[in-house]
Amino acid sequence: MTGTCGKGPAGKWYNAPMTPARWFTFLALLAALAASAAPVSAGDPAQDQPAAAVTDSLGRRVVIPPRVRRIISLEPEITRIIVALGGGDRLVGLDFFLRYHDHLFPLLYPAGAGLPVVSNQGQDPNYELVLKLRPDVLFSSPSEFPSTETMQLKLRTPVAALASLGNFGRLLDEIETVGRLIGRVDRARELAEYFRNRIGSVRRALRDVPAGTGPRVYLAFWGSLLRTPVSYEPVDAAGGTNCAAGLLPSYLGAAGATVPVEQILRWDPEVILVQGNYLPAERTVTLQSILRDPRLASLKAVRAGRVHYTFGFWYWWDPALVLVETLYLARLLHPREFPAFDFEKEGNEIFRKFYGIDGAFTALAKILNCHEWVRN
């Protein structure tokens, strides 16, 4: 293009020599460009990202806007991840479980007590409140009522159903997905790496143990002797074999099955794990009740006294807690491969890594009275 702008000896404008005036103009233009391009938000080390398309746990493709500043999460597992990634300040609404019933969450995010409660047990969320809170995205639970589609129909906000559904791989994917959505990619990667490494080291320690020879474990979850999850990955990762594996079709994932008592006898587990994530006074199934149950007297686990508590699921997992649990189970199931170590210290460290809080595990252990369990 020929013209009158600074023709230099080669006749092209970009070959013109840079005079101070031109330098000044150039720098001023650059500054103006930089100013307009800088993100408006404060303290956000994140990049400006385009709208993200996410495939949620129900296989739905959800388009989420680039700046996710206001989040409501009805799936406790996701809320925990958001807090771990440092996005707690973006939560504008909380679900009823984490606010009123979870023993752990108030320790991890005390500010949550000030958030409005948007959902209630077995009911539709408070849509009016949701609209009033103007979230940029709503994370729903794929396994709870009401259905995500119903919610999406009632809200213009994108609704994404995310949960690990009892699978470590999906848990890690979620951490990275949420990290991407809230602009905490580095932090997400850091936590995912940490989790993978620790689980990896457990698996490595077990590499000499042939597959399928780990102790057979029966899990008595959800406050009943007879209800058991057909898949519980911490047990698998810790080198145990879940007796109930394969009981239900695999597409049902980590569903719970009810079994007749004699099925437990048929399996004859070597270890029994009872879900202990209850206040001690509210436990309907206790170690004592199992050890003293005359129907179970002939079980290997009962005769050897290998009946223990473990944490279990409540609305899936807390990433830090499930890591602690896996380490605890590894020690329980394979004492030879895993030397004794200070669980409380280890637990606190993992929680500090995830949540930046000291002594969280100690506090939880006190509430659940788990000092018994974690005695080596």
Partner 1 sequence: MSGSATKVRGWMVWAAFLLPVVLLLLSLNVGTYHIPLRDVWTTISRGISPAAGAAPSPYADILFRIRLPRLLLALFAGAALSVSGASLQSLFRNPLVFEFSLGISYGAAFGAALSLVFLGKGFPPQLAAFVLAVLAVLLVLVIAGKSASQIVPVLLSGVIVSALFQALLSLVEFFANPYALQSLIFWLMGSLANAVWGDLAVTLPIIVLGIAILILLRWRLNVLSLGEEEARALGVNVKWEKVLVIAVATLTTAAVTSVTGVINWIGLIVPHLVRMMVGPDNRKVIPLSAAFGASLLIVADDIARSAASFEIPIGILTSVVGIPFFIVLLRRSGKAWL
Residues that bind partner 1 (CB under 8 A): 97, 100-101, 120-122, 222-224, 226-227, 247-248, 257-263, 265-266, 268, 278, 281-282, 284, 294-298, 314
CA 144 to chain centre: 16
Q: How far is the CB of 283 from partner 1 (least distance, A)?
A: 9
Residues 6+ apart with CB under 8 A from 376: 331, 340, 341, 343
Is 135 or 229 the residue whose CB approaches partner 1 more closely? 229
Q: How far is the CB of 344 from partner 1 (least distance, A)?
A: 24
Is 202 or 217 the residue whose CB approaches partner 1 more closely? 217
Q: How far is the CB of 330 from partner 1 (least distance, A)?
A: 27
Is 209 or 248 the residue whose CB approaches partner 1 more closely? 248
Q: How far is the CB of 210 from partner 1 (least distance, A)?
A: 25
**Spatial separation of the C-alpha atoms in residues 163 and 150, rounded to whole Å:** 18
Is 208 or 282 the residue whose CB approaches partner 1 more closely? 282
Q: How far is CA 70 from CA 83, 91, 125, 159, in A?
A: 13, 6, 17, 13
Q: How far is the CB of 263 from partner 1 (least distance, A)?
A: 5
First to last CA, the chain: 80
Is 196 or 292 the residue whose CB approaches partner 1 more closely? 292
Is 188 or 368 the residue whose CB approaches partner 1 more closely? 368
DSSP H or E run through 161: strand 159-161
**Spatial separation of the C-alpha atoms in residues 314 and 166, rounded to whole Å:** 11
202: closest CA among 20, 369, 332? 332
Q: How far is the CB of 351 from partner 1 (least distance, A)?
A: 22
163: closest CA among 353, 325, 318? 318
